[in-house]
Chain A
Amino acid sequence: GQQLNQSPQSMFIQEGEDVSMNCTSSSIFNTWLWYKQDPGEGPVLLIALYKAGELTSNGRLTAQFGITRKDSFLNISASIPSDVGIYFCAGQNSGTSYGKLTFGQGTILTVHP
C-alpha cells in the first residue's frame, strides 16, 4: 500500500527561525494536504495542494506539490511560539471510493522563545 515518509520527526528551533519539513511517497497522489494538530485537539487544515508543481502560501506558511506528485514540502517562516504542535502531511487520490487520506508520521515542532 501507499506509504508516506515525513521528515524530520521532530524539530527544536528558536523563535524567529524558518522551518522546513517534507513528505515523500512511494506512489503518486493527486492532492497533498498539510495539517497542524495542537495537543488535545483535532488536526486543522493549513494548506491544500491540487496540482503538480503548485506553490501555495497561507500567511507565513508555504507549501509545494512536487512535480513528480510523490512529494511535498511545508515551510514556516519567522516561527513564533504558537507554531508549536504536530504537523502532518497527507496524500489523497481522487477517484477512490472515499477519498482516503494517507498520513505521514508527523513532525513535532518545538519553538523556544
Chain B
Amino acid sequence: QKEVEQNSGPLSVPEGAIASLNCTYSDRGSQSFFWYRQYSGKSPELIMFIYSNGDKEDGRFTAQLNKASQYVSLLIRDSQPSDSATYLCAVRGSSASKIIFGSGTRLSIRP
C-alpha cells in the first residue's frame, strides 16, 4: 500500500462546477496535510494546508480532513480553465520529518 494515494485521473469537470479531489494516507499518526498545484512544466505550488479534522476554506478552495477515515480532500468551487493542472496531496507523517507526496491527480476544466 502506498503511503499517500490519489486517483491519477484525468478528472474532467465543466467550467463553473465543483471539482473534488481525494487522497488517502496510510500513517494513522500523520500530523499535517498539504495540497499542491502543479502546472505542466512548472514546479509545485503549495495552495492549502490543514491540521485539524473538518474544513478549511481559502477563497474558492476548501480542504477537508477526516483523520478517522485517513482521508483528505480538496474542493475547488466555480472551477476555471486556469485550474487545469495536476494536484498533489502531501502528508507529514507521525515521525514529523519528511513530507510524503502522492502521485497527483490531473484535473481538466472543460469550457
- Binding between chains A and B: no
- Which residues from chain B sit less than 8 Å from chain A, CB to CB? none
